[in-house]
Amino acid sequence: MAIVECTDVVKTYQQGKVDVRALRGVTLSIDTGGFVALAGPSGSGKTTLLNLIGGLDEPDSGHITVDGNPFDEMSQSRLAELRLNKIGFIFQAYNLIPVLSAVENVEYVMLLQGVGAGERRERARAILDEVGLSDMYNRRPAELSGGQQQRVAVARAIVSNPALVLADEPTANLDSKTGNGLLEMMAEMNRTKKVTFIFSTHDQRVMDYARRLIRIQDGRVAEDVDKAA
């Protein structure tokens, strides 16, 4: 079953007087449970595509459906609700709310979902244990290393069992050892929790972790390789 469906998605930005055609008609379908890499050079349109799939922005034309919800019919607040319950985000950096501790950052999503305080705290701690941060519950983001911050971001993205996690170059700011560790952890979460991961990268080593590799070039899908097949 497909969790993400994109049909003829076009997105053009206005840069002054120039039109920048970030996506020129992307059609793809991603199955539930996938561990998918969007690969391509800088400027190819990866971030734009992830933002559209996450409902953070609207395409100029084309259709996007996530977990059976067609975006064209949804209001901003319905999209916010969908993001809250179905989608987790991991960005390249500055993912965390600086005034909240690691455990509070993870709790925040559940707070929005209306989970009770006791359960919230328990689940946040459990997931932080899983990502290997058991002794960092109360540290603020500024007191964590880049790799630790990204682990908190992963924990936060998956804590409420979303259908889909979108990660935009999650390892770009990390050294390769830390980056590999993070990817292994994401792959582990994908296996054990059956959460679909879509991550973008331009790093060959990162692409190797993916089970499916979608190459984006100049706003189009240039190659789509399902390694499992």
Ligand X SMILES: Nc1ncnc2c1ncn2[C@@H]1O[C@H](COP(=O)(O)OP(=O)(O)O)[C@@H](O)[C@H]1O
Binding track over 105-144 against another protein, x by CB under 8 A? --xxx-xx--------------------------------
Binding of ligand X at residue 94 (CB under 6 A)? no
- Least distance (Å) from ligand X to the CB of residue 227? 21
Q: Cα separations (Å) of 9 from 26, 27, 50, 176, 183?
A: 5, 7, 12, 33, 28
Segment contacting ligand X (CB under 6 A): 40-48, 83-91, 99-107, 180-188?
40-48
Which of 44, 95, 150, 190: binder of ligand X (CB under 6 A)?
A: 44
The two most distant CA atoms of the chain are separated, in Å, by 54
Binding of Mg ion at residue 47 (CB under 5 A)? yes
Binding of ligand X at residue 46 (CB under 6 A)? yes
- Least distance (Å) from ligand X to the CB of residue 223? 15
Q: Strand 61-66's sheet: what is its strand order?
A: 18-31, 2-15, 61-66, 69-70
- Burial of 81 (C-beta count, 10 Å sphere; 0-12/13-18/19+): middle
| Residue 204 phi, psi (nearest 5) | -55, -40
Query: What residues line the site for ligand X (CB under 6 A)?
Result: 13, 15, 20, 22, 40, 42-48
